[in-house]
Structure 1
Amino acid sequence: MVERAGDLRRIVIALAGAPGAGKSTLSEHLLAALPAGEAALVPMDGFHFDNAMLDAMGLRHRKGAPETFDCAGLVATLRRIRSGEGGVPVPVFDREADLSRAGAAIVPADARFVLVEGNYLLLDRAPWTELAPLFDLTIFIDVPIVELERRLLTRWTDLGRSEEAARAWVEGNDLPNARLVIESSRRADVVWSNFPQPSS
């Protein structure tokens, strides 16, 4: 990755995948592997619409679907970042509080590598296709739907939902979103399989 950057002042890398694929974990590993002080992270989840807005739009029950994100805001922020501008504020999603915190992180001027992680970064439909020219490298994290279901059920029960409520949310919202990501994303430069392979 460092070699691919060449003489570019800033390289923007997309880490895409379905809910539960392991995007946050991979992002943390990449941040640790890149030169100290030269990398920053922009989570797409920070661009969630607020719950009050989702209620007004009648979309609270679909939170996490493409239409529940401020895609235009993400595009505008990434354009600022690609320009080399320093001190670009980005929102961060607080999963426990279930809300986005505006300006909760900063992409500093000396961040040469900017990792952007999210479900729909490679989605091949408008308005998400506007993101395509903003990435220098794209990575898709591949996980079978059965494994995604297991991870997502664990996620929501760990966050305090009953098993029944977790299953209803996963089956009615998370898995449809996961299938959309898997079936409708553009091909990435790198596809990484993030699940145990059967032993021979």
Structure 2
Amino acid sequence: MPRNVKKSRRAHERHAAFSPYRRFPREQWATLRADTPMTLGAEEIAQFVSVNDRISLDEVVEIYLPLSRLLSLYVEGAQQLFQATGRFLMTNGDNKVPFIIGIAGSVAVGKSTTARVLKALLARWKNIPKVDLITTDGFLYPNAQLQEQGLMERKGFPESYNTNALLEFLHDIKSGKRNVKAPLYSHLVYDVLPDEHTIIDQPDILIIEGLNVLQPARLPRDGSFIPFVSDYFDFSIYLDANEDDLHTWYINRFMKLRTTAFLDPKSFFRRYAELSDIEAYEVADDLWKSINLTNLRENILPTRQRANLILRKGSNHHIEEVSLRRL
């Protein structure tokens, strides 16, 4: 074997030895389901799948059931710790604090599908009667404000979000506050819906899904406190895939939406429904390269190693490897 190949292999082995993650091939991870019962049917699972995403019954059994088992144990431990801390501080009357799970990853990687499947599975555990889900899309600045600030082409980048409003929301949730409002977003009109909210009222688990939820803030030189969104997470998941696969999935989703949602007269993207296949492909390819790929490389992918768990997808959308951060 050539010397440079041996050297490269030894370097890789040393890097793997010091990795903060334990890596599990799909088959090994599936065994960690133990005796966890399957509580979802194929028809119900099909309702959770986003446009152009794929998830099978086998995927839920082999990947998401073990993950729901792990998370239920984490939640149980957090509940016990909260009670123990309450006894120590003599504040047992305090409101319960939800366990917050953050889900991050690129556009078109399947975050929404993962979030919905996990929500359904976790809500069936006896110690978790109430699970809520929100996306950070509602915390985007309205289009009018983005246009005024020249940020419409940066929509989805960290600067396009009202981070202060998101942090205030998370602070209220973690303070045990009741009936906390989260703004709603419409993918049809591609904008925040004014004066429309969903109410989050002390769930046992709150799942928060978004592109940049693991993004750290710029640290101040004077040492003053700057909170990160992820500071409020008890567990975080990153959905990972190759750039080429993400590109393909994004293009395929765009082309499918041309014959579905884009046909709605109220759709922000109605003009794309009239394009030829070649023109539509060129538009989608440009949107991917100029916006989504740039955001992925600059802001999203660099946060991958901050996650507690990484789900690695193959080109067929199936999760091939699970990486769990060591405690």
TM-score normalised by structure 1 residue count: 0.89
**Larger strand fraction of residues:** 1
C-alpha distance in 1 between matches for 2:112 and 2:283: 24
Instruction: Report the CA distance between 1:17 and its aligned residue.
Output: 0.9
C-alpha distance in 1 between matches for 2:218 and 2:108: 24
Asked if structure 2 preserves the Cα contact closer than 8 Å seen for 1:91 and 1:103, the reply is yes
CA gap 1:30/1:74 in 2 versus in 1, 3 angstroms: same
| Amino acid corresponding to residue 246 of structure 2 in structure 1 | L
Aligned to 1:115: 207
Instruction: Report the CA distance between 1:185 and its aligned residue.
Output: 4.4
Is the aligned partner of 1:13 residue 2:101? yes
Asked if structure 1 preserves the Cα contact closer than 8 Å seen for 2:216 and 2:229, the reply is no
Instruction: Report the CA distance between 1:91 and its aligned residue.
Output: 1.6
| 1:171 aligned to which of 278, 285, 289 | 289
C-alpha distance in 1 between matches for 2:319 and 2:178: 45
The SS at the match of 1:114 is: strand
| 1:74 aligned to which of 142, 151, 166 | 166
**Larger helix fraction of residues:** 2
1:43-122 matches, cutoff 5 A:
43-101=135-193, 102-109=195-202, 111-122=203-214
C-alpha distance in 2 between matches for 1:79 and 1:156: 36
Residue by residue over 1:92-148, the C-alpha shift from the partner in whole angstroms, topping out at 9 and shown as x without a partner, is 221111011254322123x11000111111123438962132011111111111111
Cα RMSD (Å): 2.2
The SS at the match of 2:188 is: coil
C-alpha distance in 1 between matches for 2:210 and 2:111: 7
Q: Share of identical aligned residues, percent?
A: 25
Structure 2: tracts of 5 or more residues without a match: 1-70, 83-95, 220-225, 259-271, 273-279, 321-327
| Amino acid corresponding to residue 170 of structure 2 in structure 1 | L
1:132-171 matches, cutoff 5 A:
132-160=230-258, 161=272, 162-171=280-289
The SS at the match of 1:64 is: coil
Aligned to 2:228: 130
C-alpha distance in 1 between matches for 2:182 and 2:319: 40
| Amino acid corresponding to residue 172 of structure 2 in structure 1 | R
| Amino acid corresponding to residue 293 of structure 2 in structure 1 | L
The SS at the match of 2:216 is: coil
C-alpha distance in 1 between matches for 2:285 and 2:113: 23
Residue by residue over 1:19-70, the C-alpha shift from the partner in whole angstroms, topping out at 9 and shown as x without a partner, is 1121100010011101255100120111111111111001112211111111
Q: Which has the larger radius of gyration?
A: 2
Asked if structure 2 preserves the Cα contact closer than 8 Å seen for 1:27 and 1:41, the reply is yes
C-alpha distance in 2 between matches for 1:198 and 1:184: 19
Asked if structure 1 preserves the Cα contact closer than 8 Å seen for 2:184 and 2:196, the reply is yes
Aligned residue-pair number: 198
Aligned to 2:118: 30
TM-score normalised by structure 2 residue count: 0.56
| Amino acid corresponding to residue 166 of structure 1 in structure 2 | A
C-alpha distance in 2 between matches for 1:157 and 1:64: 21
Instruction: Report the CA distance between 1:153 and its aligned residue.
Output: 1.5
Aligned to 1:189: 308
| Amino acid corresponding to residue 168 of structure 1 in structure 2 | D
The SS at the match of 1:159 is: helix
Structure 1: tracts of 5 or more residues without a match: none
Is the aligned partner of 1:4 residue 2:74? yes
